[in-house]
Amino acid sequence: MAAPSCGAPGVWIRGTGPRSGSLFTLVSKAFCSTAAATSPLNAQRLAERLRAQQREQETKKPEPTNPIQRRVQELVRFTGQLQRVHPNVLAKALSRGILHQDKDLVVISKPYGLPVHGGPGVQLCISDVLPILAKILNGHKAEPLHLCHRLDKETTGVMVLAWEKDVAHQVQEMFRTRQVTKKYWAVTVRVPMPSAGVVDIPILEKEVQGQKQHHKVGKLPPTGVKHQLRVHLSFGLDCPVLGDHKYSDWNRLAPQKLPVGILKKLGLKQSKARHIPLHLHARQLMLPALGSRKEELHLVCRLPRFFAHSLHRLGLEMPNQDQNGDFEAGHLRAQ
């Protein structure tokens, strides 16, 4: 009896995520035509097998020798893991970064790459784990926490939650009426001119070219509208935030193009610039008196590790603190 014929086809898949656009072979194992005829491979099982083999190949890849590239790769892996972890794991991670907690509010340090709300392609977000976080902090009978405001997916820093919906509405009204003092730290490509002032440049929404439909949005700075700081820094002051791959070019979506000097200091090539994270950090919030609390609440969140490393590599000074506890961001820029 003749042996069944076997082939060894290669399966080619275009990568998604951090290595989007690369073309590589995932499997080249032989499949017997006889076995295939008697036991057809389920499409879902095949997809799972391919994903498992892709993960196995990625773990076998040698680590880059450049320390900056290693940190970028670690950041890419970390942000991808945030979307894949169990909600309980994410809630525990957030509980370890509590900045302040009282009977009205819980203030967390928002991680990089974690969306606040759900949406297309979002597997896990902060709002999903608020019931779990509340139980971790206040027992199994605790009601879910409530969001008081939002931060962009790529923005890090101070984020305020409330135990009661009424308190959340009060804090939201404080944000809306500009009673909350907000301070962001950012590394910008080029130096803003002038170094201080009020940006009052209305920017309209526009569709941009790409494989999928995309829009870029901007409004006036004090309004708290989505992406306002990034829009005004890039298109108003011609100083995009380092790692802002959405608003560095108005007409198309593409990785940010950086000056040779910045790339050299970061130890990166332009082809790797797409992995540079957004360097925008919600450093401080000052909330007015609320409920039984009669004094202003001053909240501060330390820089994420990648942000601090970039400052060191770029030779930038940390903002100075004056006698009133204020921070000047005059030196926080990439030239």
Q: List active site positions.
A: 152
How many angstroms separate the CA atoms of 332 and 149, rounded? 25
**Residues whose CB falls within 8 Å of the CB of residue 83, separated by 6 or more in sequence, listed in order:** 122, 123, 124
Contact between 108 and 94 (Cβ < 8 Å): yes
Collect contacts of 255-262 with beta carbons under 8 A, ≥24 apart.
256/189, 258/189, 259/189, 261/335, 262/189, 262/314, 262/334
**Residues whose CB falls within 8 Å of the CB of residue 293, separated by 6 or more in sequence, listed in order:** 102, 104
Q: How many residues does the chain have?
A: 335
DSSP 26: E
**Residues whose CB falls within 8 Å of the CB of residue 71, separated by 6 or more in sequence, listed in order:** 305, 306, 309
Parallel, antiparallel, or unpaired for β 156-162 and 280-287? parallel
How many beta carbons lie within 10 A of that of residue 244, not counting itself? Answer: 25
Contact between 186 and 280 (Cβ < 8 Å): yes
Burial per residue of 38-51, b for 16 or more beta-carbon CB atoms within 10 angstroms, e otherwise: eeeeeeeeeeebee
How many angstroms separate the CA atoms of 94 and 108, rounded? 7
